[in-house]
Amino acid sequence: MTAGDAAADTTIVIVGMGRVGLPLSIAFASAGLRVMGIEDDPARRRSIELGKMPFHAPGTEQPLLDAVSSGRLTVHADPADVVPSADVIILAVATPLAVDLRADFSQLHRALSNLAPHLRAGQLLILRSTVSPGTLTKIVIPYLRERIPDVAGNLLLASCPERIAEGKQMQELRELPEIVGGIDQASTEAAASLFRRLNPGKRIHLTDPISAELAKLFTNVYRYVNFALANEFAILGEYYRVDAHRIIEMVNRDYPRANVPLPGPAGGPCLSKDGYFLVEELTLPDFVLLAGKLNDTTPAHIVRRLARRLDRHGLPLAGAPIAVLGKTFKRDSDDIRQSPAVRIIDTLWREGAEVRVHDPFLSTPPLEEALAGARAFVLATNHSFYQTLDAAQVAALMAEPKVGMDCWGMLDRDAFAAAGMDLLTFGVGDEL
Ligand SMILES: NC(=O)c1ccc[n+]([C@@H]2O[C@H](COP(=O)([O-])OP(=O)(O)OC[C@H]3O[C@@H](n4cnc5c(N)ncnc54)[C@H](O)[C@@H]3O)[C@@H](O)[C@H]2O)c1
């Protein structure tokens, strides 16, 4: 591939057909490019070959089917089959947090090790996964230089982190500005030209690899810290027995310098780990990890508050049937990785509660079954499905004392009170 020229016949290999790699593959295939996915998981490969999404991602089903049936997207197990003929290779494997709270790059190492023997001079290699600062220059390039010294110096290399949000993948792949950090001008231009194929009007920020990697981490950590602050405001609202949601609304409305997010349990596979990546090498005190601590302990705060309220009704949490509504980490997603709702469920289990879980995006028993005879419910994920929960129907299914814990301020407190329920809301003091 030559710099500044992503021709219509450009062929792309994308390693990792996950929540980042597959939507990106579909987007490039829909833009007319030839995409060859490499995926380890045979079940995932099979699903893609059948034109069926292996996870929920709105707006991807039909484009996937079109891409597969036209032959513009194929999926493979062995890099040897496709890497030698590709112009571009994009790494989109997972980079979770290891138990020592450092980045776990085992998937990245294995992907590089499998790719290396098949790379050839002139190819563009893009790091799309979220990584700690300096990964392209301090880990990927030294590895390639050692393993394939004759080729490594003749590759175009860039860090181009993914910033899409789950649920908005296809729209955001078209619309979000790209951050493109090449190791030299030729690499930066080649990568920018490739991403312009997704949308010729796409804004592209050109930079160096470490700035691109930091920009991704700043993006996520900024949101995560703000969520933590909103959760601290929620706890303050409870402490002062007022409604933090209404206060936040007053703060934000018609005031140009405030954009406080909604309080609620925050987590997920990206936000909960990226702060650790960011401050991995920092020896100074920082508030990124403090924000993580606040978000991580919000589920325990919610369970403690529910337990206190049940106690006031004379019911111990241990042994109480509790329905948890929502298990995924965010609204209208089927992703449970690092979900705060799972933390709520685990904490309830540990306290001895009899937990039943319902989630409209997972295969769980129906809502009515989870609520039948439950002494309390926790609305843990703000799926739109729960927006229309009918207070009278919920109350009719449950058993006394019919306590509800709304972690998102989604439910109509007056309607639930009128139905004879004792509804608590995260961020709202008990006795207003
Ligand atoms: N999930 C998101 O919305 C999102 C958004 C922005 C950035 N990110 C980042 O993007 C990266 C990918 O995340 P994800 O959510 O797509 O992960 P994922 O776990 O959904 O997907 C990774 C895929 O790679 C496959 N894989 C792993 N090693 C492989 C190998 N050597 N060869 C072939 N396939 C291999 C796995 O089987 C899996 O299907 C991570 O760094 C993540 O932090 C994720």
Residue 33 C-alpha from the chain's centroid: 26
Which string of DSSP letters, residue by residue, matches 337-386? TT-HHHHHHHHHHHTT-EEEEE-TTS----HHHHHTT-SEEEE-S--GGG
pLDDT at 174: 96
Strand order of the β-sheet with 354-358 is 354-358, 321-325, 376-379, 403-406, 422-425
Q: In a 3-state reduction of DSSP, which class is residue 119?
A: coil
Nearest-angstrom CA–CA distance, 172 and 151: 34
Which string of DSSP letters, residue by residue, matches 137-169? IIIIHHHHHHH-HHHHTT-EEEE----PPTT-H
Nearest-angstrom CA–CA distance, 250 and 327: 30
Q: Which residues pair with 424 in a beta bridge?
A: 405
pLDDT at 284: 78
Nearest-angstrom CA–CA distance, 6 and 196: 8
For the cut 60, the answer to whether the pLDDT of residue 5 exceeds it is no
Cα 186 to middle of ligand 1, angstroms: 27
pLDDT average, residue stretch 100-111: 95
* Sequence ranges of the chain with CATH classification 3.40.50.720: 11-207, 233-425
Closest listed residue to residue 428, CA positions, set 418, 420, 416: 416
For the cut 90, the answer to whether the pLDDT of residue 88 exceeds it is yes
Choice from 107, 127, 163, 221 to test ligand 1 binding pocket (greatest atom count within 8 A of CB): 107
Q: Which residues pair with 376 in a beta bridge?
A: 322, 403
pLDDT at 385: 98
Between 280 and 28, the higher pLDDT residue: 28
Angle at 344 between CA 227 and CA 218, to 5 degrees: 25
For the cut 80, the answer to whether the pLDDT of residue 2 exceeds it is no
pLDDT at 209: 98
Residue 19 C-alpha from the chain's centroid: 9
Q: Identity (one letter) of the amino acid at 238?
A: E
Cα 128 to middle of ligand 1, angstroms: 9
How does pLDDT run across 130-178, given as a tens digit for each residue? 999 999 999 999 999 999 999 999 999 999 999 999 999 999 999 999 9
Query: How much of the chain, in percent, has pLDDT values that exceed 70?
Result: 98
pLDDT at 309: 97
Cα 307 to middle of ligand 1, angstroms: 37
Query: Residue 82 class from Cβ within 10 Å (0-12 exposed, 13-18 middle, 19+ buried)?
Result: buried
Nearest-angstrom CA–CA distance, 397 and 78: 53
Nearest-angstrom CA–CA distance, 192 and 21: 18
Q: What is the mean pLDDT of the chain?
A: 96
How does pLDDT run across 354-409, given as a tens digit for each residue? 999 999 999 999 999 999 999 999 999 999 999 999 999 999 999 999 999 999 99
Query: How much of the chain, in percent, has pLDDT values that exceed 90?
Result: 94
pLDDT at 308: 96
Q: Any residues with Cβ below 6 Å from ligand 1, and which? A: 15-21, 38-41, 44, 92-95, 107, 110-111, 114, 129-130, 162, 164, 166, 269-270
Residue 47 C-alpha from the chain's centroid: 21
Give the CATH class of 11-207.
alpha beta
Can you list the positions of beta strands (E) in 231-310?
none
Cα 379 to middle of ligand 1, angstroms: 29
pLDDT average, residue stretch 12-28: 98
Cα 383 to middle of ligand 1, angstroms: 24
Strand order of the β-sheet with 34-38 is 73-76, 34-38, 11-15, 88-91, 124-127, 156-159, 178-182, 204-207
How does pLDDT run across 246-264, given as a tens digit for each residue? 999 999 999 999 999 999 9
pLDDT at 33: 97
How does pLDDT run across 183-203, given as a tens digit for each residue? 999 999 999 999 999 999 999
pLDDT at 1: 57
pLDDT at 4: 46
For the cut 90, the answer to whether the pLDDT of residue 283 exceeds it is no
Residue 361 C-alpha from the chain's centroid: 15
Closest listed residue to residue 395, CA positions, set 409, 410, 411, 375: 375
What ligand 1 atom has the least distance to the C-alpha of 166? 3
Q: How far apart are the first and last CA of the chain?
A: 65
pTM: 0.94
Looking at CATH, the fold of the domain delimited by 233-425 is given as: Rossmann fold (3.40.50)
